[in-house]
Amino acid sequence: MAQGVLKGGHFIELALLMRCILFSELFRTEEEDDDDDDSGTHYLNSDERPCTHLQRAERPGNGKVPDTFQTDHLLYYERFKAYQDYMLGDCKTSEVEAFTAEYLEKIVEPCDWQAIWHTDVFDVLVEVVDVDCKELKAKVELVLPMECETRGCDLTEESMKVLLEATLHKVPLLELSVVYDESRDFDQTALALEHLRFFYKHIWRKWDEEDEDDDFDYFVRCVEPRLRLYYDILEDRVPAGLVAEYHSTLALCSEKFQEFSSLRSGLDSDSESEQDNVSMVEGLRLYEQLEALKRKLRIIENPLLRYVLGYKVNSGQQSCRAKGPRPAGGRVVHLVSALATVHQLQSLITDKLMPHYSSEEFEVQFHSDPVLAVNACYEGDVVIVCPGLYSITSSISIVDSIEVEGYGLPDEVVIEKRNKGDTFVESTGANVKLSNLKFIQRDAIEGILCVRQGKLEMENCVMQCETTGVIVRSAAQLGMNMCDLYGSKGAGVEIYPGSVCSLVGNGIHHCKEGILIKDFADELDAMPKITMVNNVIHNNQGYGVILVKPGDAAVEDLAEPNAAGALFFFCLLLPPQFTISRDSCVPGNDAIKQELVATSAKKHRLQKSRMKALGAMQADENLLSQEMFISINGNQFKHNGKGSFGTFLY
């Protein structure tokens, strides 16, 4: 279905500039009929259609063509309701085409309305004389005299008539925008075409119709998570790195699907040539790549899995290079103070500067912004932040081995980050120390602190989180002593494979999870090394400590099929018109064939059960006995919503 839709005419996906403007009357209906409808959707008759009043969308430029309806400001719940209640209902993937056609037949005016036919090279005014909802096309006539806007070409009335004759006067509905009409007679037609365009641009995937989970509700399985992700991205609730990775993965998946489809359609079912055998093996390779990419997309589209598994697709951010020692030699003490009294300066000199930094190698520089102070540092420098509230809008990126300390108690030395963007503090230095500071997140979408590489020692710090808390990446080291961390909507501390994490005397509380440890079956890094001594982990929504790891099916699923099994498995992927027998796919005796069939079927069942069981969570009181824990002593777990220890299976 999708191929026919996406190739027709000059299909150009309109860029929808989404804004949160409330349409308070969308889909307000009269009392619905009580009649049951086995289609799974709830349609209204012509007198009970939703009373949505759309506004005029004024066209930019010189106004050579009429204005259209403004349909690109719909909110999440408005699109959600349209797809769930009116367009798709509880249809299966194989029924999407039929349900969509039925929806359009009930909503779209069949004729006698004007539209702008939009392509990449022109916008032209046409009159719709008929609508074919099954083909998603409309029969149109050119409105004379011609009203047209072109981009990079010259079109005459005659050439446009020739073009329409070549297409039999049929153009894709996806390329039509209804001309604004104050009578309100065509509001619902305009809205229906908007939902159609949005669906094929942002929801539907070309490989959806080949999904074997056709017994499942397509709306619940695909539409809802993709729609939610679209609006999460739109509203800056997804990190920029993850957004970029999602779009690149989606593009790569489309490319691999096209390659796979082309290779599959080119196979000759009657041929036993070596070239066809090579093509089949190549097809299996493409298929496995495609499945891996599709699974990656499903992980990002699922809000929960995006949180617990999304690090792989968002861990490639590049940090600035370390500067190393100062070229001219020497070290600098960077004093950060927006305002200080003479007495405070005297105390600072007496208590801190003279005892520790009075040698000739040290110079003193003054700053009013902690970000500028850190950016000015070379290896071995020290940043001393005087009491005060420092509001910043950019990240603190620590790339060299330096010390950053607050002069006073943490509640007296407060650094507040207010804008949406990257991680609050990111450390990649070989040996970094933070102490006596309080960090407060506002309007954040990234974590409060990330140790990407190197070693970070934190002592006597307070972290008031808004998204995730402290993240320790693979191969990084964190020592967190006597700190207080709270408010994370994710985990207070996230520990990745191959990292080293020492937590001593900390309070981790009022987070979604206390400590989250990630263990992946396909991760090449070693298990993390974790020390937990005298921590108080309390009042977290989920578990005090939770381990994320693959289920048994996922581990078994990593086994590679042998060559004969691979060849047989690819035979099962051939299009329906091919009638290759199992005997022609797999050489050898019947016992081998039966084993291959059973192995392939088991592998496929494991793949399906793995996806259906995504997100299984269970208590695990034996968690601390695992070898990743180097030292466990004196920790207290109190009032955590789901218990002290748990395991998240994916």
Q: What is the pLDDT of residue 240?
A: 75
> How far is residue 279's CA from residue 328's CA, in Å, rounded to a whole number?
62
The predicted pLDDT at position 389 comes to 94
* Residue 264 in this model has a pLDDT that exceeds 90: no
Say whether pLDDT at 305 is over 80.
Answer: no
Residue 129 has pLDDT above 90, yes or no: yes
State pLDDT tens for residues 446-486: 789 999 999 999 999 999 998 889 999 988 999 999 999 99
For the cut 50, the answer to whether the pLDDT of residue 337 exceeds it is yes
Question: Residue 466 is encoded by which pair of tokens?
Answer: 């808004």
**Environment class of residue 336 by beta-carbon count within 10 Å: exposed (0-12), middle (13-18) or buried (19+)?**
buried
User: What pLDDT is stored for residue 423 in this prediction?
Assistant: 79
Q: What is the pLDDT of residues 567-614, one digit of tens each?
A: 444 444 444 444 444 344 444 434 434 444 454 455 455 555 554 445
Average pLDDT over residues 533-560: 75
Q: How confident is the model at residue 244 (pLDDT cuts 50, 70, 90)?
A: confident
Q: Residues 382-408, buried b or exposed e (16+ Cβ, 10 A)?
A: bbbbbbbebebeebbbbbbbbbbbbbb
Q: What is the pLDDT of residue 321?
A: 81
Nearest to 299 by CA among 360, 249, 348: 249
In this prediction, residue 526 has a pLDDT band, given cuts at 50, 70 and 90, of confident
Mean pLDDT, all residues of the chain: 79
Can you give the pLDDT at residue 316?
42
Q: What is the pLDDT of residue 217?
A: 86
Give yes or no for residue 206 having a pLDDT over 50: yes
pLDDT value at 43 more than 70: no
**DSSP collapsed to 3 states, 77-115:** HHHHHHHHHHHCCCCCHHHHHHHHHHHHHHHCCCCCEEE
pLDDT at residue 115 is higher than 80: yes
Q: Give residue 52's pLDDT band: very low, low, confident or very high (50, 70, 90).
A: low
Residues 130-145: tens digit of each pLDDT: 999 999 999 999 999 9
Residue 46 pLDDT:
42
Predicted confidence (pLDDT) at residue 21 exceeds the cutoff of 50? no
**pLDDT tier, 31 (very low <50, low <70, confident <90, very high otherwise):** very low
Q: Please report where in the chains the tokens 């200080």 appear, as a residue.
A: 340
Query: CB neighbours of 64 closer than 8 A, spacing ≥ 6?
Result: 147, 148, 149
Mean pLDDT score, 366-387: 95
